[in-house]
Structure 1
Amino acid sequence: MARYARGGPPARRPGVQLAAVAAAGLFALIGVLGFIPGVTTGYGDMSFAGHHSQARLLGLFQVSILHNALHLGFGLVGLLLARSVAGARLFLAGGGALYLGLWLYGFAIDRESAANFLPVNDADNYLHLFLGFGMLALGLLLSNRLGTGAPLDDPFDRP
């Protein structure tokens, strides 16, 4: 008969933590892939920052060294935050709100100006929209019944 180190079977992680780990891992992976020639086309034309970078992750998403580093850093922060339910919620909901803001920013700026310092293109903008809504929904809806200290409720019954 197998024994567990703490006297019982390992606890199953809440869904919000699993989603945060998956999202954070994906961001970290994308950050690393952005530095791999072949996965990133035009790798030799990658600049540190700005709209002049001609590198494209998977041939679609305009990237720069700063852009890749931000993905990698965001993923690592997400992995740290996903260690708790509250941190996972913060990463998903806060990150979703951040990505929705980035989506709006991508449409508001002149892409040929210095304001496009990340850089972003149409593919990036649509991805930011999808990520923003997806992460926000996961952060707000997956963990509805965990760790609030309030009675259990249905999200549609809230005022």
Structure 2
Amino acid sequence: MVKKFALVFGIVYTLVGIMGFIPGLVTAPEMTGDLAADTGHGRLLGIFPVNLWHNLVHLAIGIWGIASYKRFSAAVLYARANTVIFGALVILGLIPATDTLFGLAPIYGNDIWLHLLNTVAAGYFGFGPPARQNTETMNHRPQ
């Protein structure tokens, strides 16, 4: 189950990263001068603020998830790391001084609730029952 999470999460984030580079899917941003890195700045699907760096991070998280699918331990590490990463992004996105990752990537607006949902999902698969499933199965094998 954790491996499937890593694969699905990875595929979704890879696709979202690619979508961020398709001009027809990114609308013009609201007027803002907060981003030092404004290349590709806009709203993906008119909803989520993105820019070049944001898209590259989506691609990296996605590729990492796909690569983590092969091993249970790698998938658990992926889910746990994403719990921490997305949890930090939620907090940073709520603070006006850090809601652009210090000018590098927009993480405000609708990104906050999406990152919160990702934190909860990754936390469940990384720290919840699915993460313990393989360990329990290995400890209860007939000898």
Q: Could you list the runs of 5+ residues in structure 2 that have no partner in the other structure?
A: none
Take 2:3 and 2:104, find their aligned partners in 1: how far apart are those partners?
A: 32
For residues 6-155 of structure 1, the aligned pairs below 5 Å read 15-42=1-28, 50=36, 52=38, 54-110=41-97, 115-141=102-128, 142-147=130-135, 151=139
Query: What is the number of equivalent residue pairs in this alignment?
Result: 134
**Judging changes above 3 Å, is the alpha-carbon distance between structure 1 residues 83 and 31 closer, same or farther for their aligned structure 2 residues?**
same
* Deviation of 1:140 (Å): 2.2
Q: Could you list the runs of 5+ residues in structure 1 that have no partner in the other structure?
A: 1-14, 153-159
Take 2:67 and 2:99, find their aligned partners in 1: how far apart are those partners?
A: 36
**Judging changes above 3 Å, is the alpha-carbon distance between structure 1 residues 75 and 113 closer, same or farther for their aligned structure 2 residues?**
closer
Higher helix share: 2
Q: TM-score, normalised by structure 2?
A: 0.81
**RMSD between aligned residues:** 2.6
> Could you tell me which amino acid in structure 2 is paired with residue 145 of structure 1?
Q
Take 1:129 and 1:62, find their aligned partners in 2: how far apart are those partners?
A: 15
Q: Say which structure, 1 or 2, has more relative contact order (CA 8 Å, 6+ apart).
A: 2
User: Quick check: 133-142 or 55-64, which moved more?
Assistant: 133-142
**Judging changes above 3 Å, is the alpha-carbon distance between structure 1 residues 122 and 85 closer, same or farther for their aligned structure 2 residues?**
same
> Could you tell me which amino acid in structure 1 is paired with residue 22 of structure 2?
I
> Could you tell me which amino acid in structure 2 is paired with residue 41 of structure 1?
T
Asked if the contact 1:82–1:88 (Cα under 8 Å) also holds between the matched residues in 2, the reply is yes
- Percentage of pairs with the same residue: 24
* Deviation of 1:81 (Å): 1.6
State the structure with more CA Rg: 1
Moved over 3 A (4+): 49-54, 111-114, 147-152
